[in-house]
Amino acid sequence: MPPETRSQTKQLQREDRVDQCKIMFPAFVTAPVPLRILDELIDEAWEGASSVLSGDDPSPAGCICVVTTEDLDSIEHGSRKPMQPFESPFLGMTDDEVRTWFNEHRHPNFASGTFTVLDKDTAKNKTCRIGYTDIDAEEGNKMITTDFYASIYIQIPLDVVVISWFEEVHNHELVLGPGKAYTRKHIEEEKQEVADRVKRGL
């Protein structure tokens, strides 16, 4: 099978599973982002989410949903490529304004604890910022910067309360420094470190 056909088949298989994801992780566009960048985000976020779980099932526990409308009842599944042109209703919003809007407008299949902001740095640096919905939680008003691959990867354990937001923020600032992006490279290094410890019987 030619490479193009394999790629198309992989894309179709992935699209067939988007509506099977149990959780959608909402992403709010607060500054202009080219559609091709959003397509790249969809691909990378899917791959990162898929790497959270091991096993034969290639479907991740969740997928990204670029919120293109305030009518949440019209959203039935996560985002698919190619993204269609839209005007984001969240342009110009601050992180706090996005958090407030999200807390006031709930979707039954959206993650309850976290959200993603796609801002001016999304197109420039291919990064996004992850926020927490509970402003009363310790460090609840802080955001974590990630690359596209890591965006959903770090939200899945937060949504199922494997770790707290404070622990996540503290660990990132301790290892990377405030404002530094958590990336695929960091994830792979962490996995390798765990594998090495297991190999040594630690």
Between CA 61 and CA 178 the distance in angstroms is 28
Q: What is the pLDDT of residue 58?
A: 56
Q: Please give the tally of structural domains in the chain.
A: 1
The pTM assigned to this predicted structure is 0.86
pLDDT digits (tens, 9 = 90+) for 103-159: 999 999 999 899 999 999 999 999 999 999 988 888 888 999 999 999 999 999 888
CA-based nearest residue to 49, from 129, 141, 147, 156: 156
pLDDT classification of 164: cutoffs 50, 70, 90: confident
CA-based nearest residue to 146, from 171, 163, 127: 127
pLDDT classification of 10: cutoffs 50, 70, 90: very low
Please check whether residue 113 is in contact with residue 158, taking contact to mean a CB–CB distance below 8 angstroms. yes
Q: What is the pLDDT of residue 82?
A: 95
Structural domain boundaries enclosing 39? 3-199
Q: What is the CATH number of the domain that holds 193?
A: 3.40.50.800
pLDDT classification of 194: cutoffs 50, 70, 90: confident
Q: What is the pLDDT of residue 162?
A: 66
pLDDT digits (tens, 9 = 90+) for 33-72: 999 999 999 999 999 998 886 555 556 678 999 999 999 9
Q: What is the pLDDT of residue 107?
A: 93
Where helices occur in 20-77 by DSSP H, the ranges are 35-50
- Indicate if the pLDDT at residue 29 is higher than 50: yes
